[in-house]
Structure 1
Amino acid sequence: MRENNHQNIPNAQLIMQKEILSFKEALVYLDVSESFLYKLTAKKAIEFTKPNGGKIYFSKENLNNWMLSNTSQSKKTLETEILEHLKKNQKCRED
């Protein structure tokens, strides 16, 4: 994990057990900088809660969804999908 300049770096094992994370815990979980996470929240690119207008909290499910939101398929998977599509189109033309 990236080194943070925080005095009280949250314990990674404790983070893994929790469902709701504080801002500092989310930094450790995502392994991103403080400024990057603030930018994501400002752009509303990542879901968060702010009870009573106070501290920012994140659900791990939302953080996981964000991390997996821009999946890149392997070359092999793309080739297989193209071949299947071509075969399907070939059958449609023959019918």
Structure 2
Amino acid sequence: MDANEVIIEKLNKLETLLVSSVKQILTVEDLINYTGFSRSYIYKLVHKSIIPYSKPNGKTLFFQKKEIDEWLLQNKSNSVFQIEQKAIEYTTYKK
């Protein structure tokens, strides 16, 4: 692969990522590019109803980007600093 082919491949990848980031409704292909998950992992999540999805025509899967973002950010873990801040606030206001 020569340098031009590498540049074109990278530009195509950037274009795909930009389009996926603007869209509000994602296809499986968009979701693969958006999350980096493999196709098989996405289908596994859908099959087990772990990830929010829509299937309006009974065949094609669609994902609402907002719901995917919320799903990706669930079960958030606080940093040590955040825990310490909460402890200070709790003890300060508890008096």
TM bucket, shorter chain: 0.7 to 0.9
Residue number in structure 1 paired with 2:54: 49
Which protein is richer in helix relative to its size? Answer: 2
The 2-side partners of 1:44 and 1:88 are apart by 42
Residue number in structure 1 paired with 2:36: 31
After TM superposition, the runs of 4+ consecutive aligned structure 1 residues lying more than 6 A away are: none
Verify the 8 A CA contact 1:30 1:63 in the aligned structure 2.
no
User: Are 1:40 and 2:38 matched, yes or no?
Assistant: no
Q: Which of 6, 13, 18 is 1:13 aligned to?
A: 18
More moved, 10-19 vs 29-38:
10-19
- Find the residue that maps to 1:83 and give its secondary structure: helix
Superposed displacement of residue 76, structure 1: 0.5
Aligned residues: 82
TM-score, normalization by structure 2: 0.76
For structure 2, the 5+ residue unaligned runs are 1-12
Superposed displacement of residue 83, structure 1: 2.0
- Structure with the larger RCO, 1 or 2 (CA within 8 Å, 6+ apart): 1
Residue number in structure 2 paired with 1:86: 91
Percentage of pairs with the same residue = 30
Residue number in structure 1 paired with 2:3: none
The 1-side partners of 2:77 and 2:48 are apart by 23
TM-score, normalization by structure 1: 0.76
